[in-house]
Amino acid sequence: MHGFSEENERLAQQILDYALDRMKLDPVPLDGPKTYDELWQAVGETITASGIGGERALQLFDDVLSRACISVDHPRNLSFIPAAPTEESTLFDLVVGASSVYGGSWLEGSGAVFAENQALRWLSDLAGFPSEAGGVFAQGGTLGNLSALVTARHAANERRGSRPQRWVVACSADAHSSVEHAARVMDIDILRVPSDELGRLTGADLEAALVGRDADDVFAVLATGGTTNYGVVDDLAGIAQVCRDRQLWMHVDGAYGLAGLAAPSVRALFAGIEHADSFIVDPHKWLFAPFDACALVYRDPELARATHTQHAGYLEALVGGEWNPSDYAVHLSRRARGLPFWFSLAANGTAAYETAVEQTLTVAGQAEDLIAALPFVELVRPRQLSVLVFRRIGWTPQEYQDWSESLLKAHFAFVMPSRHGEETVARFAIVNPRTSREDIAAILETMA
């Protein structure tokens, strides 16, 4: 099982051929889910005492298992927040796996960590962070937000010297569900501040919510740089001022939207991000990297290192390393998951990223115009980034569901309904530069 053989060489070539053939597909397959019974009948038991062999396992994946998955990079996959990894990042993901690189410490992976940190530096510069800023690529936005809030609470404990009965984090009513998950894990409370008419958390509303609180319990404010459901950017400048006045940690959840910093046309929306104490952005969303990679950046990474460094006899050899990524989030062992993003940035250049993000924004603007011109649909909220929420006038929730299922069953598009308050609506999340105006027009026509 350990040792390269002629059989391994044949399998390696087949896997490389599969990867190249998949990358050449245009468009990629959309496919869709199967039931457990359908998959069991087609695949059966694969884990046996003697094994089924690599070639047979690959054949099962190609013929059955992969065809029960929805391709996130299909140009008409507009649900949730899809992805569109570059060819370079996809290819280098193979290299990362084949290289057996451990990305948790400088001692064991200094070359990989150096490259990841260059990618983090580019993101830090886009946000206007100081030269000493730094962080780590974590598994995803949920872990990134949790790690930042744990750091913020630790810093508050150290600064204040006393603890309230219950710590509280403030955020908008439209903040991502991961905030609630982090609060459960940390055993803290959430102060939900009402959003304004545009769906933003504003500095004025935040200040009003904080006035008159008896206990010094709020330790952090989580602002959003592009909400998942609507693509709305909070009033970052106003929130930053309140945080400075009250000595509160300001964290910006930009898992989806902060990629917009790469686009000059919308960069002004993020004014105030430069004053944050930490932020996240997921390159596997709108920055064209493969799953999974969340960039978590701290203004003062020493605060994160003091919070997250783990201590044990066998870990003492790592103390004093130039930069140990395991010290900056809730993790220890880690894959060097930022390397495919670094490789794509290095290969293509940052100007190509600006062009690609702007392309998706252009198509989002064209989609906005198409919706405005059609009599049977209308926007729910004005668009800020590349997410559009709209309603099909007169439809019931079941009609939205039937429409969505029919598109996927036909392998034509993947557009899941969403919720606006109590209303069922439709939603496009456009993060793929291959998505065209014609794709949007064809999907909208199916609603006629």
Average pLDDT, the chain: 96
Which pLDDT tens digit goes with each residue over 50-76? Answer: 999 999 999 999 999 999 999 999 999
State the pairing for strand pair 423-429/418-420.
antiparallel
Q: Domain segments of the chain: what residues?
A: 6-30+34-68, 93-348, 350-445
On the CB side of 7, how many CA atoms lie within 13 Å of its CA? 7
According to CATH, the topology of domain 350-445 is Aspartate Aminotransferase, domain 1 (3.90.1150)
Q: Are 169 and 149 in contact (CB under 8 A)?
A: yes
Same topology between domain 93-348 and domain 350-445: no
- The 10s digit of each residue's pLDDT in 92-105 is 999 999 999 999 99
Tell me the average pLDDT across 363-380: 98
Please determine, for residue 216, whether its predicted confidence score (pLDDT) is greater than 90: no
Residue 42 CB: number of other CB atoms within 10 A? 14
pLDDT for the residue numbered 204: 98
Q: What's the length of the chain?
A: 448
pLDDT of 106 reads 96
Q: Give the residue from 235, 229, 248 showing the smallest Cα distance to 175.
A: 229
CATH code of the region 93-348: 3.40.640.10
For residue 149, pLDDT over 90 is answered with yes
Give the separation between CA 348 and CA 288, rounded to whole angstroms: 11
Question: What pTM, to 2 d.p., does this model score?
Answer: 0.97
CB 352 within 8 A of CB 427: no
**Residue 287 to residue 285: CA distance in whole angstroms:** 6
φ, ψ of residue 39 to 5 degrees: the values are -70, -40
**Strand, helix or coil for residue 377:** strand
Nearest to 385 by CA among 410, 400, 368, 399: 368
Alpha-carbon span 77 to 240, nearest angstrom: 35
Distance CA 191, CA 276 (A): 19
Q: How far is CA 416 from CA 247, 399, 402, 425, in A?
A: 41, 12, 10, 9
